[in-house]
């Protein structure tokens, strides 16, 4: 049947136009979510050495970058707060302070740029002195105590105008509890993006340095983040979170976990998001800065791999760069 020389597959690759007509996967700006960091020093934009070319914005500066993202066609942003050390505590009370940095940022962005999706993490790590995503007692992360707090955090975020809350702490049962808490306050329209499959990964290191939760890289989240040797466990996590009321599922990190994305998208009729996390971006950027590879081309190829695996949306620090290129291509 398909034998050489009557069949020559290279004919399909012979020019750009035929490659475009036969391409199986495409990437559009509709697929991208831009993660952004916010701090409370009004009027300043601070470079982030851990993530070259990525910056941390004051609330006002955030508005202009989000307007730019919107103009490029980016539909949603994920905003992460960098919290002052003085506001961190053992019980993470600042997480549900309605006037905290992220609530102020969400509220301000929502009024200034109304038609962009705003996603915020529900997790305690930016607010705890020890950097864990949960309440630490007797050397253990307390699941149910943590849930009580993240529910309050989710409500504070919803009140501030957040469209989508994203629990990223991997506590058991938090999706159902957060859904109930939101519904009890009439936030039926606030959706939940569950980080259902969050692996215990070294690729988060730059992010942790930025939000100040790294504790010199010694922090061990393996009692709640998933063991990266497991696939079936990921399926159980997704099943449970869908049953508890998740609207969207996140898998994270991205590139080292394309098999998990592929398995999940094949198995669930559900939108699966993926996160190209800080360490993934940092590796590509560092290699590009050393002129070992081409940044734009490598990022594009990496994001196509997420689409091949079936991801519907991708969080990537490169979203602005990619959106700019997609428009000019």
Check residue 99 and report its DSSP letter.
Answer: T
End-to-end CA distance of the chain: 37
Length of the chain: 329
Active-site residue identified among 198, 221, 285, 307: 198
**Binding test (CB under 6 A) with ligand PBG, winner from 94, 121, 163, 244:** 121
Question: In the bound complex, what is the minimum distance in angstroms from residue 14's beta carbon to ligand PBG?
Answer: 40
207: contact with ligand PBG by CB under 6 A: yes
Question: In the bound complex, what is the minimum distance in angstroms from residue 123's beta carbon to ligand PBG?
Answer: 4
Phi–psi pair at 230, nearest 5 degrees: -110, 135
285: contact with ligand PBG by CB under 6 A: no
73: left (phi over 0), alpha (psi -120 to 50) or beta: left
Question: In the bound complex, what is the minimum distance in angstroms from residue 72's beta carbon to ligand PBG?
Answer: 21
**Active-site residue, 152 included:** no
Annotated binding site for Mg(2+): 237
Q: Which is nearer to ligand PBG, 94 or 133 (CB)?
A: 133
d(CA 268, CA 69): 30
Question: In the bound complex, what is the minimum distance in angstroms from residue 8's beta carbon to ligand PBG?
Answer: 44
CA-CA distances (angstroms) from residue 11 to 19, 21, 29, 262? 10, 13, 30, 29
278: contact with ligand PBG by CB under 6 A: yes
133: contact with ligand PBG by CB under 6 A: yes
Q: Which is nearer to ligand PBG, 168 or 194 (CB)?
A: 168
Other CB atoms closer than 10 Å to residue 90's CB: what's the count?
11
Which tokens hold the place of 198? Answer: 């969050």
Q: Where along the sequence are the contacts to ligand PBG (CB under 6 A)? A: 121, 123, 125, 133, 168-169, 204, 207-208, 277-278
Instruction: Supply the residues annotated as catalytic.
Output: 198, 252
């Amino acid at each position: 049947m398909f034998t050489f020389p009557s069949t020559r597959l290279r004919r399909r690759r012979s020019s750009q136009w035929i490659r475009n007509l036969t391409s199986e996967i495409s990437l559009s700006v509709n697929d991208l979510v831009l993660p952004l960091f916010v701090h409370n020093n009004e009027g300043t934009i601070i470079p982030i050495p851990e993530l070259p070319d990525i910056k941390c914005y004051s609330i006002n500066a955030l508005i202009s970058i989000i307007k730019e993202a919107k103009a490029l066609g980016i539909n949603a942003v994920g905003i992460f707060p960098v919290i002052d050390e003085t506001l961190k505590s053992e019980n993470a009370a600042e997480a549900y302070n309605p006037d905290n940095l992220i609530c102020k940022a969400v509220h301000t962005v929502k009024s200034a740029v109304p038609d962009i999706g705003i996603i915020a993490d529900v997790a305690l790590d930016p607010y705890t002195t020890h950097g864990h995503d949960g309440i630490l007692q007797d050397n253990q992360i307390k699941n149910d105590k943590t849930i009580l707090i993240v529910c309050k955090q989710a409500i504070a975020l919803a009140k501030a105008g957040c469209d989508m809350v994203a629990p990223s702490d991997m506590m058991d049962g938090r999706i159902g509890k957060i859904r109930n808490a939101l519904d009890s306050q009439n936030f039926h329209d606030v959706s939940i993006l569950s980080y259902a499959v969050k692996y215990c990964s070294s690729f988060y290191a730059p992010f942790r340095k930025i939000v100040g939760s790294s504790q010199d890289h010694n922090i061990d989240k393996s009692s709640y983040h998933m063991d990266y040797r497991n696939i079936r466990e990921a399926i159980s996590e997704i099943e449970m979170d869908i049953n508890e009321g998740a609207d969207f599922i996140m898998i994270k990190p991205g590139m080292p976990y394309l098999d998990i994305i592929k398995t999940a998208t094949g198995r669930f009729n559900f939108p699966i998001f993926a996160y190209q996390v800080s360490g993934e971006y940092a590796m590509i950027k560092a290699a590009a800065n050393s002129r070992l590879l081409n940044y734009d081309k490598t990022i594009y190829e990496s994001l196509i791999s997420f689409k091949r695996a079936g991801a519907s949306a991708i969080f990537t620090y490169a979203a602005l760069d990619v959106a700019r290129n997609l428009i000019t291509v």
